[in-house]
Structure 1
Amino acid sequence: MQKNKKALVLLNMGGARNKDELKMFLTNMFNDENILTINIDFIRSIIANFIVKKRLDSAWENYEKIGNASPINPLTEKLVDKCNEKIEEFKTYQAMRYTPPFANDVLEQIKKDGINEILLFPLYAQFSTTTTKSSVQDFIGNIPYEGFTVKYIEEFYKNDKFNDCIVNEVIRNIDDKKEYNLIFSAHGLPQKIVKKGDPYEEQMNEHVEILSKKLDEKGIKFKSINLAYQSKVGPLKWLEPSLEDMLKNFKDENVIIYPISFIVDNSETDFELDIEYREIAHKLGISEYKVCRCVNDSDEFIEAIKDIIKN
């Protein structure tokens, strides 16, 4: 029994530890009605299986370039350990949407620990139906019995301590003697999802405005500050501008990338941003290309979590 403690559950998408888990990740993701927005489960399952078969081998080749596993798992474990060390009123757990540990297993552990108050903390600063809603819906849907009180953090991109984490990471990566173009790179979404009312794009624009103002207040000047979207797949129209198109503006210039939609480093940061887009930047003639790390398990982010959950 964890006397007088509440459960703080960190929610995220998950990431593969091997090729079998990559298949699991892709299968679960494309069967998610918030991702593949097809109302009929049977049809969505057929399409999902087709996509997985088509993409698995090429996706695994990308994983091989980052050590055969996503960094999200060890980094999240470190984050959980630090939260348990420094946030006394909560016992912290993690639950992933598409790979272990899954919500049902985490709920079983919370029950064994004798805790009945749960605060869900989706590790997505901006709300989207494809991330926050999907993860919260999945967790609550796995509660098999009454007796739990569940609340969740909807978004936290306006939190000042969290934004200090981002600004400080950007500052750590710049050379005072050079001019940089700062690009906040966000995971893309099909435009049809935004048109249905998803607030992600609006919140992303507002978040960039907040961070731009904070950088200006600190006297940190950039040649330009931009927002672009990465990770487009398939034939649908996605949010624009794409990161590749944005990079075309900066031949012979210096670029620094901050992965604004991610809290913990993963395949999208370590492969896409640090390898795939770096190669594109090199081909485009960009002089210097830097990628910032996510907030991960930093002490600064632990303090931000404390601030976010205190209300």
Structure 2
Amino acid sequence: MQTNRAIVLLNMGGARNKNELKMFLTNMFNDENILTIKNSLIRKIVASVIVNKRLDSAWENYEKIGNSSPINPLTEKLVEKCNEQIKDFKTYQIMRYTPPFANEVIQKMKKDGIEEIILLPLYPQYSTTTTKSSLEDFLKYEKNSFKIKVIYDFYKNDSFNNSIVNEILRNIDDETNYNLIFSAHGLPQKIVDNGDPYQRQMIEQIELLKQKLEEKGKVFKSINLAYQSKVGPLKWLEPSLEEMLKNFKDENVIIYPLSFIVDNSETDFELDIEYRHIAQNLGIKDYKVCRCVNDSDEFIETIKDIIK
């Protein structure tokens, strides 16, 4: 059925090969929301230095997860399922740092006769480094071509939080034997100090998830928040996941990646390989990592709920 309305899913992207990894890193570190250097020429020089320094070691990590990020095939499946199950809307995806890019998809939507758009950044919590960056990128190329509604965050969505609780409980038989850690992508402390609501929203969401677990009578040994992916010398949000794991020698841990919707190199490599190795060295008995909601039927229902 032909429709003039669209859902546009926005995300950061991920590399399909080493050339795309260089593209991803170059675009990311040239983003003024990420590398907050006002002078674009200086930012470009600094970005180039960082990329050249990190490319080979970052690619080694990608080699451990099959030479590409899982974010691409999973997002393609999500788009396909949205197009099958969400009537009256055509669903598209746009990535911030790797294809498909905003300018190309916008041209396609114009050809497809799209007039109204719901922009849905696949970041549950709002951050200048993710949501704002993706929205600015879209609007730069859109040039008032569509009637737009923006979903700025959805971390409070009931359907979404139910799907997270269900995924956690699917992975364990007895929650009383496990410490639950919600792991979130870290941010430099100065970004939060400058008013970014990401950390506050993360804490609010964990309170909602705790309530849902309590209502189900599920009592974990402990429920915690930690931050992963720190790079560089700046002070980042704390506690780091590595520091948090030190609390659980001889105990069991289950991790839920709270800031991600679609599995990517940070879930498949960092959480499932790198931090698993750290956990084993620390003497943690059982270390489990939950999947993101990805293209699950539950998340399709969440999207339907969000766009109502």
Give the TM-score of the pair, scaled to structure 1.
0.98
**Alpha-carbon deviations, 1:30-73, whole Å to 9, x = none?**
00000000111000000000000000000000000000000000
| Aligned twin of 2:82 | 83
Secondary structure in 2 matching 1:272: helix
| Aligned twin of 2:293 | 295
User: Compared with structure 1, are the counterparts of its residues 177 and 137 closer, same or farther at alpha carbon in structure 2 (3 Å cutoff)?
Assistant: closer
Matches within 5 A, 1:269-288: 269-288=267-286
In structure 1, what is the Cα distance between the partners aligned to 2:148 and 2:40?
28
| Aligned twin of 1:197 | 195
Question: Aligned partner of 2:83: which letter?
Answer: N
| Aligned twin of 1:245 | 243
Matches within 5 A, 1:7-156: 7-143=6-142, 145-156=143-154
In structure 1, what is the Cα distance between the partners aligned to 2:152 and 2:57?
34
Deviation at 1:3, TM superposition (A): 3.5
Deviation at 1:178, TM superposition (A): 5.7
In structure 2, what is the Cα distance between the partners aligned to 1:138 and 1:197?
21
Deviation at 1:152, TM superposition (A): 1.0
Question: Contact 2:256–2:289 (CA<8 Å) still a contact in 1?
Answer: yes
User: Compared with structure 1, are the counterparts of its residues 304 and 172 closer, same or farther at alpha carbon in structure 2 (3 Å cutoff)?
Assistant: same
Secondary structure in 1 matching 2:92: strand
Secondary structure in 1 matching 2:181: strand
Deviation at 1:283, TM superposition (A): 0.2
User: Compared with structure 1, are the counterparts of its residues 55 and 207 closer, same or farther at alpha carbon in structure 2 (3 Å cutoff)?
Assistant: same
Runs of 4+ in 1 over 4 A off after TM superposition: none
In structure 2, what is the Cα distance between the partners aligned to 1:23 and 1:177?
41
| Aligned twin of 1:234 | 232
Q: Which runs of 5+ in 2 are unaligned?
A: none
| Aligned twin of 1:161 | 159
Q: Which runs of 5+ in 1 are unaligned?
A: none
Secondary structure in 2 matching 1:274: helix
In structure 1, what is the Cα distance between the partners aligned to 2:144 and 2:276?
50
| Aligned twin of 1:170 | 168
Deviation at 1:166, TM superposition (A): 0.2
Question: Contact 2:4–2:113 (CA<8 Å) still a contact in 1?
Answer: no
In structure 1, what is the Cα distance between the partners aligned to 2:81 and 2:205?
26
Secondary structure in 1 matching 2:33: coil
How many residue pairs get matched?
A: 308
Question: Aligned partner of 1:299: which letter?
Answer: D
CA RMSD of aligned residues (A): 0.9
User: Compared with structure 1, are the counterparts of its residues 3 and 37 closer, same or farther at alpha carbon in structure 2 (3 Å cutoff)?
Assistant: same
In structure 2, what is the Cα distance between the partners aligned to 1:147 and 1:236?
40
Deviation at 1:142, TM superposition (A): 1.1
Deviation at 1:170, TM superposition (A): 0.2
Question: Aligned partner of 2:266: which letter?
Answer: E
Secondary structure in 2 matching 1:248: helix
Segment of structure 1 superposing worse, 56-65 or 172-181:
172-181
| Aligned twin of 2:217 | 219
Identity level (%): 76
Give the TM-score of the pair, scaled to structure 2.
0.99
Deviation at 1:148, TM superposition (A): 1.2
In structure 2, what is the Cα distance between the partners aligned to 1:271 and 1:156?
26
In structure 2, what is the Cα distance between the partners aligned to 1:154 and 1:86?
23
**Alpha-carbon deviations, 1:84-141, whole Å to 9, x = none?**
0000111000000000000001101100100111111000000000000000110011
